[in-house]
Amino acid sequence: MVDPTPFPRSEVLSVSGLTVSYDGKLALDGAEAHVPRGTLTAIVGPNGAGKSTFLKAVLGLEPSTGEVRAFGRPVAGVLDRIAYVPQRAAVDWSFPVRVFDVVLMGAYRRTGLLGRITTALRAEVAEALDRTGMADLADRQIGALSGGQQQRVFLARALMSRAELFLLDEPFAGVDAATEAAIISVLQGLRDGGATLLSVHHDLSTVSSYFDRVLLLNRRTVAEGTVATTFTRERLATTYGAALLQAAIV
Amino acid sequence: MLAALALQAGYNAALVSIGAALLGAAAGGAGAFLTLRRRALMSDAMAHATLPGIALGFLAMVALGGDGRFLPGLMLGAALTAALGLWSVQMILRRLPEDTATGAVLSTFYGFGIVLLTVIQGLGQGRPAGLETVLLGSTAGMLRADAIVIAAGGAGVLAVLWLLHRPLAMVAFDPVQARLAGLRPETFDTVLMGVVLAVVLVGLNVTGLILIVALLVTPAVTARLWAGTVGGVARLSALIGAGCGYVGAAISAGVPDVPTGPVIVLLASALFVLSLLIRGRHG
Amino acid sequence: MAEFLALSLPPILVAALAALACALPGNFLILSRRAMLGDAISHVVLPGIVAAFLLTGSSAGWVMGAGALVAAGLSALMIEAVTRRSGMEPGAAMAVVFTTMFAAGVLLLEVTGTGAIHLDVEHALYGNLESLIWLSAEGLHSLVDPAALADLPPQLGRLALIAAGIALALVVFWRPLAMTVFDPVFARGQGIRVRWVMAGLTAATALAAVAAFQAVGSILTISMLICPAATARLLTAGLARQVWLAVAFAVTSAVMGYVLAGYAPVWLGAGFTVSAAGMIATVSGAMLGLALLVTSQRAPARL
């Protein structure tokens, strides 16, 4: 895909001076990020570091100051190229939708108000479900799924948007091992296909095996770069505070 | 009563039955989206907030020299204060929880409406007799013009719901994702409230403002016990609403002293209880 | 003076006591997000009264009150059962239950012709504050004359008793009530029977609603349960202060509302009075609106 605007081709997301405050308390204080195309970045930091807030502020879901550009443009104008997978608790699980319907909602920008649900689109939903290992459950009501399965449905919905930048908020929180394996393989597959992904991540022990980049965040950006150069004991100690780091690793 | 069910009980009874069925369908459809958005009690506040508008509409028309009973004029007043009531709920919501905001607006607007009704009685001008039928509805004197208003309103409501069912469902299910997909949840919430307001206004004639909330909520929650998709819930809810409206109006026409609104509501309630016994969670 | 004592004092006292009885539990209703329970309960009072009359043939105050209390308790249980078994939002469950019972009440009223005997729907909705008069009042001395006092409207004594009972219960159960509405999970951990506390709150609400309803109608009941407490909540963060303020606002709006309904139209040159119950609700709503304006500069409360 050729981007018409002049801008370092490789940098998909650039964030500078991102600041969010609640009632005068700073949740984010000038966070930075420069994310190149085709990478899978873990956002890591202690509780209360503003990781979820960072994603929401990037998307414009939280009032913030600072500059956020995606694909070289303000985010509001390129939301159609971005997908967001929120933490699971957000929706009414008794809502009368089947897995298939939820995933189809991911294609709303294409179907619009009354656009026909074509055979091709149905096939695409089936493929998204297949990639996330949910093909057998397409007709289930979403409330009847396990936590891990619900998370995979939301990932499948994100796939339908054909986005190039994916923002995920703790996709592995409280899921079973099978789901974790399924999700990470989808994420790595997307990266290998040229997409750019950022994911809030809690489990420090899996950062090196799952991700290729890391963004250390504690209200401001402590460090950002490849796992090899950035995910070091000293940097983590700065991010978490030495005592807390012990707790985080154990 | 069987004659009324078969539309053979005279012109007026047939008119009432068809009108009630159309109102039931519109209320059922709108109520499906309203309950999915978890705003059931908003309709209660809105319905009660129509009362001062009806009284003001009457006073305005009397001041202009009419007898105050021109239905569109009363409905315009009702729409204005209902909208003001909704706006007040939104303002209070910034500071207080939703249930408190709803209850405060409901009781204040209604209390003021009653003050205005007693003002109208005191003034003794126009033809105020029976103005309070808007509280509990009255189908006895339904005219062809009223039936046309109900039919047009009901058809309009159903058309808007059909046109916008996808975004309304998305906003109800996951407002954050809807926003990211380019839909403004505020816009569709306003549309939804407008549709519910139309149902409330049309329903003033049939069930009255206290019971119209039942026509919006009960068929919708009944349908939700049976259907697994948004479309299914909306269609079934509209069908239940239409059925209860039609049968209720027929019963009311065939049995003396039986008021229409309460019968329609009780039919819907009976279906709900039955559905809950069959499909509800046990224990 | 005799005229004031005979015609205005009893309704003012009844309105103030009703407002007081409702405002007390109202504080805890709004803090536990159950404000609409007041709405539901006040709507089901009507079928309770009608059913009590049809079953007993008596229109004595306590029979009707008992019927209304049973209906209120029944509706609270039904709302809980429907919420649990259908999994729907509590608001929708409330709407289904109270409209069903209200419709049943209206239907019973019409079909049995009970409407003829002093029970009618409008009465139930607006109340009948203006009819509470004290015919034996002849002057200030009547206030200490036992014979004249015995002739006071019976609603007055009943309401005073109920308001005092609710206030006493509030003082006794203050701590568990405050802890339960603030954090039910923690309260349970402290050995508080949260279910019983909430059931007690529902019972107090029902009692207040029934007592107030007989005097002032269902709409004023909703208004008094919610508006004064909400106004007080905006103006203070302390629970005890909130309750005191709510009581003050409730009594003030009752007195002001009654006076405005009786005299304002006359001052404006009209020869009639307007509904006192409606005016009291209007005044308490206006006080809430004023409090919103006055405090609008503050940061929004985090809810």
pLDDT tens per residue, range A171-187: 988 888 888 999 999 99
Is C38–B103 a contact, with Cβ atoms under 8 angstroms apart? yes
Q: Give C125's contacts in chain B (Cβ within 8 Å).
A: 114, 135
**Which pLDDT does position A3 carry in this prediction?**
45
Q: Touching check for C278 and chain B: CB below 8 Å?
A: yes
B2-132+149-275: CATH topology: ABC transporter involved in vitamin B12 uptake, BtuC (1.10.3470)
Nearest beta carbon to residue A61 from set B170, B176, B229: B176
pLDDT reading at A160 higher than 80: yes
C302 touching chain A per CB within 8 A: yes
Measured CA angle at B98 (ends B95, B102), to 5 deg: 105
Largest CA distance in chain B: 62
Choice between B266 and B70, residue whose per-residue pLDDT is larger: B266
ipTM metric: 0.89
Please state, in angstroms and rounded to a whole number, the distance separating the CA atoms of residues B101 and C288. 10
Q: All domains of chain C, ordered by start, with CATH? A: 2-216 (1.10.3470.10)
Q: Of A187-191, B6-10, C175-179, which range is least confident? A: B6-10
pLDDT category of residue A4 using cuts at 50, 70 and 90: very low
> So what's the pLDDT on residue C289?
95
Which pLDDT belongs to residue B128? Answer: 64
Give the one of C104, C227, C265 whose C-beta lies nearest to B108's C-beta.
C227
- Chain C CB contacts of A144 under 8 Å are none
Whether the CB-CB separation of B158 and B29 falls below 8 Å is answered with yes
Judging contacts by C-beta atoms under 8 Å, the chain A residues touching residue C87 are 94
Distance from CA of A111 to the nearest CA of B (A): 9
pLDDT value at position C216? 78
Quote the tokens at residue C199. 């059931």
Confidence band (pLDDT; 50, 70, 90) for A7?
Answer: very low
Q: What's the average model confidence in pLDDT over A59-85?
A: 90
Q: Which of B70, B209, B200 is nearest to B146 (CA)?
A: B70
Cα distance between residue C194 and residue B121, in whole Å:
49
Q: What is the DSSP letter of A126?
A: H
Q: Which of C87, C299, C302 sits opposite A94 (nearest CB)?
A: C87
Task: Kindly give the interhelix angle for B260-279 and C61-86, rounded to the nearest 10 degrees.
Answer: 50
H or E element in which residue A31 lies: strand A25-36
Could you tell me which residues come within 8 angstroms of residue C29 by beta carbon, excluding any fewer than 6 positions away?
C35, C37, C38, C201, C205, C225, C226, C229
Domains of chain A: 11-88+164-249 (3.40.50.300)
Question: Cβ–Cβ of B36/A90 closer than 8 Å?
Answer: no
* Residue C303 at interface with chain A, using a CB cutoff of 8 Å: no
d(CA B156, CA B185): 22
Chain B residue with minimum CA distance to C290: B92
**pLDDT score at B147:** 80
Q: Which residue has the higher pLDDT, C54 or A166?
A: A166
| pLDDT band per the 50, 70, 90 thresholds, residue B129 | low
Read off the pLDDT of residues C120-140 as tens digits, 9 standing for 90 and up: 556 666 667 777 777 766 677
**Spatial CB neighbours of C229, under 8 Å, sequence gap ≥ 6:** C23, C26, C27, C29, C30, C242, C246
User: In terms of DSSP bridges, do strands A40-44 and A213-218 run parallel, antiparallel, or are they unpaired?
Assistant: parallel
- Give per-residue pLDDT as tens, B75-88: 899 999 999 999 99
Angle, CA of B158, B162 and B167, to the nearest 5°: 125
pLDDT of residue A234 exceeding 70: yes
CA A91 to chain B, closest CA, distance in angstroms equals: 6
Using alpha carbons only, give the angle C245, C44, C218 rounded to the nearest 5 degrees: 45
Encoded amino acid at C33, one letter? R
pLDDT score at A42: 93
Q: Least CB-CB distance to A113: which of B164, B173, B229? A: B164
Residue A18 β-bridge partners: A31
Q: How far is B148 from chain A (nearest CA, A)?
A: 29
Are the beta carbons of C26 and C224 closer than 8 angstroms? Answer: yes
A84 to chain B, any CB pair closer than 8 A? The answer is yes
Any B CB within 8 A of C265 CB: yes
Where is average pLDDT lowest: A231-240, B22-31, C69-78, C291-300?
C291-300
Strand duo A73-74 + A25-36: pairing: unpaired
With an 8 Å Cβ cutoff, are C302 and A23 in contact? yes
Averaged pLDDT score across all residues of chain A? 86
- Helix H or strand E segment including A245: helix A242-249
The tens digit of pLDDT for each residue in A29-48 reads 989 999 999 999 999 988 88
Is the Cβ–Cβ distance between B86 and B42 less than 8 Å? yes
Cβ of C87 and A23 within 8 Å? no
Question: B229, A79: Cβ pair inside 8 Å?
Answer: no
Question: B114 vs C225: CB contact, 8 Å cut-off?
Answer: no
pLDDT for residue B7: 67
DSSP code string of chain C? -HHIIIIIHHHHHHHHHHHHHHHHHHHHHHHTT-HHHHHHHHHHHHHHHHHHHHHH----HHHHHHHHHHHHHHHHHHHHHHHHHH---HHHHHHHHHHHHHHHHHHHHHHTTGGGTT--HHHHHH--GGG---TT--SGGGGG-HHHHTTS-HHHHHHHHHHHHHHHHHHHTHHHHHHHHH-HHHHHHTT--HHHHHHHHHHHHHHHHHHHHHHH-HHHHHHHHHHHHHHHHHH-S-HHHHHHHHHHHHHHHHHHHHHHHHHHHHHTT-SS---HHHHHHHHHHHHHHHHHHHTTTSPPPP-
First to last CA, chain B: 39
| Average pLDDT value over all residues in chain B | 88
pLDDT at residue B1 greater than cutoff 70? no
Residue B83: how many CB atoms within 10 A of its CB?
17
Per-residue b/e over B236-272, b at no fewer than 16 CB within 10 Å? Answer: bbbbbbbbbbbbbbbbbbeeeebbbbbbbbbbbbebb
Q: Which of B6-20, B185-199, B202-216, C112-126 has the lowest mean pLDDT?
A: C112-126
CB B258 within 8 A of CB B25: no
For A139-159, write each residue's pLDDT tens digit: 888 888 888 888 899 999 999
Interface membership of A94 toward C (CB under 8 Å): yes
Contact pairs from chain A to chain C, CB under 8 Å: 4
Model pLDDT for residues A52-67, shown as the tens digit of each residue: 999 999 998 888 999 9
Q: Where does the pLDDT of residue B8 fall: very low under 50, low under 70, confident under 90, or very high at 90 and above?
A: low
Tens digit of pLDDT per residue, chain C (303 long)? Answer: 667 766 788 889 999 999 999 999 999 999 988 888 888 888 888 888 888 888 887 777 778 888 888 998 899 889 988 988 887 888 899 999 999 999 998 888 888 765 544 555 566 666 677 777 777 666 777 777 777 777 777 778 888 999 999 999 999 999 888 888 888 887 887 778 888 988 899 999 999 988 888 777 877 889 999 999 999 999 988 889 999 999 999 999 999 999 999 888 877 777 788 888 899 999 999 999 999 998 876 644 444
The band of B32, judged by pLDDT with boundaries at 50, 70 and 90, is very high
Find, among C211, C284, C245, C296, the residue nearest to C21 by Cα: C211
CA distance B51 to B210: 10
Q: Do B103 and C288 touch (CB under 8 A)?
A: no
List the structure tokens of A230.
């950035």
Kindly state the average pLDDT of the residues B165-173. Answer: 92
Give the pLDDT confidence of A121-139 residue by residue, as tens digits.
899 999 999 999 898 998 8
| Number of residues in chain C | 303
Q: How far is CA C222 from CA B206, B262, C226, in A?
A: 25, 22, 6
Q: Which residues in chain B have Cβ-Cβ distances shorter than 8 Å to C261?
A: 115
Smallest Cβ distance to A97: which of B179, B183, B229?
Answer: B229
- Average pLDDT on B210-229 reads 93
pLDDT band per the 50, 70, 90 thresholds, residue A5:
very low
